[in-house]
Amino acid sequence: MTETERHEYDVLVIGAGGAGLRAAIAARERGLRTAVVCKSLFGKAHTVMAEGGCAAAMGNANENDSWQVHFRDTMRGGKFLNDWRMAELHAREAPDRVWELETWGALFDRTPDGRISQRNFGGHTYPRLAHVGDRTGLELIRTMQQRVVALQQADHAVTGDHESGLRVFAECTVTELLSSDDGAVAGAFGYRRESGRLLEFHAPAVVLATGGIGKSFTVTSNSWEYTGDGQALALRAGADLVDMEFVQFHPTGMVWPPSVKGILVTEGVRGDGGVLRNAAGERFMFGYVPDVFKGQYAEDPEEADRWYTDQENNRRTPDLLPRDEVARAINTEVKEGRGSPHGGVYLDIASRMPADEIKRRLPSMYHQFKELADVDITAEPMEVGPTCHYVMGGIQVDPDTGQSRVPGLFATGECAGGMHGSNRLGGNSLSDLLVFGRRAGLGAADYVAGLGRRPAVRPADVDAAAATILVPFDPPSSGTGENPYALHAELQQLMNDLVGIIRTGAEMTAALERLGELRRRVRDVVVQGHRQYNPGWHLALDLRNMLVVGEAVTTSALTRTESRGGHTRADHPGLDPEWRRRALLSRCVPGDDDAGVPRVVVGPADRAPMRDDLLALFELSELEKYYTPAELAAHPARDP
């Protein structure tokens, strides 16, 4: 039996980004003893990188905005694959969540008359993103950290212990979920990253809020934390992942120099007036408006430019089409020889706005390019290209409570699936974190309140989890001694090359074979040294998660024989209405397990039809582009 540090809570939240913190606050406010565990320092989660803003139909910049318009935009952006109930809750509740942040001390940028300012972003009909310059995620996390501290101070006043109601375990990694005999969640197992000390949490409800998967790809905007841990933990515990084929490639990442390739260039640059040009200086996006969006976007640069100041009488610029469309357009320009010297295109804000205004509106972008690429964006265009940014697929949850199909296991934020369909609109993640973080925290609290007795952790599971994480120090077949960094680089390259922005069946079949090989080799990964401060060991453990998630993404992408949103098949280029009705669920095959990397199977499931009052928010002619005639038989605009 291995020595572990043991802790008991009512609700355990794994992840301290926007979603995890909002869930923890909700659970603690319901009076439950809550713990938050995170890999990074408290306050350093990936969410702090969010730049452009948080989408909420507050109607401050255009009073025609409403939750219905936001709902419509979100469904269109996701090409009607979104869980419509999630999209509805999100659009309805986002404004309240933004206001709530201000009551906790956030300070968003203001309109001249003192309201929260809202900026334009791709796919949003009206300016809708509440923002703090281009550092919105930082303000969101800072505010919620402050709220956590305020709750801890309130607890201290009553109990004399700041951490009696809400405790943060920073720089700790969870490696396994623990269940009871009847299959409910009962806790989690992990370790302290600094010391390697093992941790055992006992809790009847666990909320996963671990973020995305971008570190499985070479070119990504994502931070080191994004190794798909929550998705893999959920799969191994018996939950389903939904629609893992949908991975968003943001159109504008840095492309030069190589050391910074993939770092994000916020969509706020285009929202505030920046335009894309090819090597010939042409604003090429006018040639890439797809049929489903025809008539909704400006047809020439003159109209597009007028739209920035007069949105009632002009249509928006196609530079602000949803991200999947813009990323594909850039990909085509580069492939057809009209790209920039380093394999991107140009993003020009310099010729569109005075230098002082650029520095005021986009301070982070100004410094990012100046310091990392020696480019002055107030004087010259940026070179940009697609970068792996966000995963729309994720843990399948109940929209209202965030509960997965495993009793007591909840998920929220980027690691949960459904909300964004096949493509997320910019700004809809920060609002997603707030809306569904709160809902998952409340869902977990209600679940615990309704339990007759607490589920018990099985001691043998704790021993097995401890043994698994120590394997890389002494692998059973250490003959070949695989290096975790080399294996990670291979995985990233194969995902990038074979399961990237444009996919084919043949390449993905090859990818699955290569993933199978990596699965066999991961058994032999060996690390040197001790458990203290050992990044090679951390990566060796993360690799198991990246492999299982890579298999879920690839198998789902191979199964979906159409192109939609963040999933483009060169061998199946069109949208297929039959596929819109189907979700793809990834599950683990119990017992089929190599070194803790279970096999994944993917199968279709029917989507629930949209409620009639929501369906009626769309013109019949638009729905006909996505739905089968049979599904639209009851639409109010259909002739009897």
Q: Is 43 in the site for ligand FAD (CB under 6 A)?
A: no
Which is it for strands 205-208 and 409-411: parallel, antiparallel or unpaired? parallel
| Minimum distance from residue 90 beta carbon to ligand FAD (Å) | 11
Q: Is 17 in the site for ligand FAD (CB under 6 A)?
A: yes
Q: Which two tokens stand for residue 264?
A: 């994000």
Quote the Cα angle for 265-354-283, to 5°. 55
| Minimum distance from residue 389 beta carbon to ligand FAD (Å) | 6
Q: Interface with ligand FAD by CB under 6 A: which range of 73-81, 402-410, 429-437, 511-519?
A: 429-437
Q: Interface with ligand FAD by CB under 6 A: which range of 34-42, 75-83, 90-98, 590-598?
A: 34-42
Per CB under 6 A, contacts with ligand FAD among 360-389 are none
Q: Is 51 in the site for ligand FAD (CB under 6 A)?
A: yes
List the catalytic residue out of 7, 76, 270, 420. Answer: 270
Q: Which is nearer to ligand FAD, 136 or 317 (CB)?
A: 136
| Minimum distance from residue 424 beta carbon to ligand FAD (Å) | 8
Q: Which is nearer to ligand FAD, 189 or 626 (CB)?
A: 189
| Minimum distance from residue 222 beta carbon to ligand FAD (Å) | 5
| Minimum distance from residue 186 beta carbon to ligand FAD (Å) | 17
Q: Which is nearer to ligand FAD, 211 or 607 (CB)?
A: 211
Contacts of 151 (CB under 8 A, 6+ apart): 25, 28, 29, 165, 166
Q: Which is nearer to ligand FAD, 177 or 525 (CB)?
A: 177
| Minimum distance from residue 42 beta carbon to ligand FAD (Å) | 8
Is residue 134 exposed (0-12), middle (13-18) or buried (19+ Cβ within 10 Å)? buried
- If one counts every other C-beta atom within 10 angstroms of the C-beta of residue 324, the result is 31
Q: Which is nearer to ligand FAD, 59 or 437 (CB)?
A: 437
- If one counts every other C-beta atom within 10 angstroms of the C-beta of residue 360, the result is 12
Q: Is 120 in the site for ligand FAD (CB under 6 A)?
A: no
Q: Is 173 in the site for ligand FAD (CB under 6 A)?
A: yes
Q: φ, ψ for residue 129 (rounded to 5)? A: -95, 110
Q: Which two tokens stand for residue 43?
A: 């306050």
| Minimum distance from residue 188 beta carbon to ligand FAD (Å) | 8
| Minimum distance from residue 200 beta carbon to ligand FAD (Å) | 14
Report DSSP letters for 255-294, one per residue: -SSGGGTT-B--THHHHTT-EEE-TT---GGGGG--GGGT
**Nearest residue to ligand FAD, by Cβ distance, number only:** 17
Per CB under 6 A, contacts with ligand FAD among 386-405 are 390
- If one counts every other C-beta atom within 10 angstroms of the C-beta of residue 368, the result is 22
Alpha-carbon distance of 238 to 456, in angstroms, equals: 17
Q: Interface with ligand FAD by CB under 6 A: which range of 293-301, 422-430, 439-447, 585-593?
A: 422-430
Distance of CA 368 to the CA centre of its chain: 22
Distance of CA 490 to the CA centre of its chain: 23
Q: Which is nearer to ligand FAD, 88 or 414 (CB)?
A: 414
Q: Which is nearer to ligand FAD, 433 or 511 (CB)?
A: 433
Q: Which is nearer to ligand FAD, 45 or 547 (CB)?
A: 45
Q: Exactly one of 7, 9, 18, 514 binds ligand FAD (CB under 6 A); which one? A: 18
Q: Is 19 in the site for ligand FAD (CB under 6 A)?
A: yes
Q: Which two tokens stand for residue 597?
A: 């990397």
Bridge partners, 13 (sequence order) = 36, 207
State the Cα torsion 165-169-173-176 to the nearest 10°.
Answer: -20
Per-residue b or e along 221-231, where b marks 16 or more CB atoms closer than 10 Å to that residue's CB:
bbbebbbbbbb
Q: Which is nearer to ligand FAD, 548 or 558 (CB)?
A: 548
| Minimum distance from residue 415 beta carbon to ligand FAD (Å) | 6
Per CB under 6 A, contacts with ligand FAD among 285-344 are none
Q: Is 37 in the site for ligand FAD (CB under 6 A)?
A: yes
Q: Which two tokens stand for residue 638?
A: 């259909």
| Minimum distance from residue 422 beta carbon to ligand FAD (Å) | 16
Which amino acid is it at 549?
A: V
From residue 242, alpha-carbon distances to 156, 162, 468 in Å are: 41, 39, 27
Contacts with ligand FAD by CB under 6 A: the residue count is 41
List the catalytic residue out of 124, 128, 131, 250. Answer: 250
Q: Is 136 in the site for ligand FAD (CB under 6 A)?
A: yes
Q: Is 174 in the site for ligand FAD (CB under 6 A)?
A: yes
Report DSSP letters for 297-360, one per residue: B-SSHHHHHHHTT-SSSSPBPGGGS-HHHHHHHHHHHHHTT-S-TTSSEEEE-GGGS-HHHHHH
- If we measure between CA atoms, which residue out of 116, 162, 129, 147 comes closest to residue 22? 147
270 part of the active site: yes
250 part of the active site: yes
Q: Which is nearer to ligand FAD, 34 or 221 (CB)?
A: 221
Alpha-carbon distance of 452 to 204, in angstroms, equals: 11
Q: Exactly one of 52, 393, 443, 566 binds ligand FAD (CB under 6 A); which one? A: 52
Alpha-carbon distance of 236 to 474, in angstroms, equals: 23
HSE-CB for 273 with a 13 A CA cutoff: 16
Q: Is 20 in the site for ligand FAD (CB under 6 A)?
A: yes
Q: Is 49 in the site for ligand FAD (CB under 6 A)?
A: yes
Q: Which is nearer to ligand FAD, 549 or 557 (CB)?
A: 549
Q: φ, ψ for residue 268 (rounded to 5)? A: -55, -25
CB 592 within 8 A of CB 598: yes
HSE-CB for 300 with a 13 A CA cutoff: 2
Sign of dihedral through CA atoms 76, 78, 82, 85?
negative
Q: φ, ψ for residue 535 (rounded to 5)? A: -60, -30
Q: What x-and-dash track marks residues 443-482 binding ligand FAD by CB under 6 A?
A: ----------------------------------------
Q: What x-and-dash track marks residues 557-596 binding ligand FAD by CB under 6 A?
A: ----------------------------------------
Q: What x-and-dash track marks residues 189-228 binding ligand FAD by CB under 6 A?
A: --------------------xxx---------xx--x---
Q: Is 38 in the site for ligand FAD (CB under 6 A)?
A: yes
Q: Is 74 in the site for ligand FAD (CB under 6 A)?
A: no
Q: Exactly one of 23, 32, 50, 185 binds ligand FAD (CB under 6 A); which one? A: 50
CB 166 within 8 A of CB 24: yes
| Catalytic residue ranges | 250, 270
**Interface ranges with ligand FAD (CB under 6 A):** 14-20, 37-40, 45-47, 49-54, 136-137, 173-174, 209-211, 221-222, 225, 229, 264, 390, 413-414, 426-430, 433
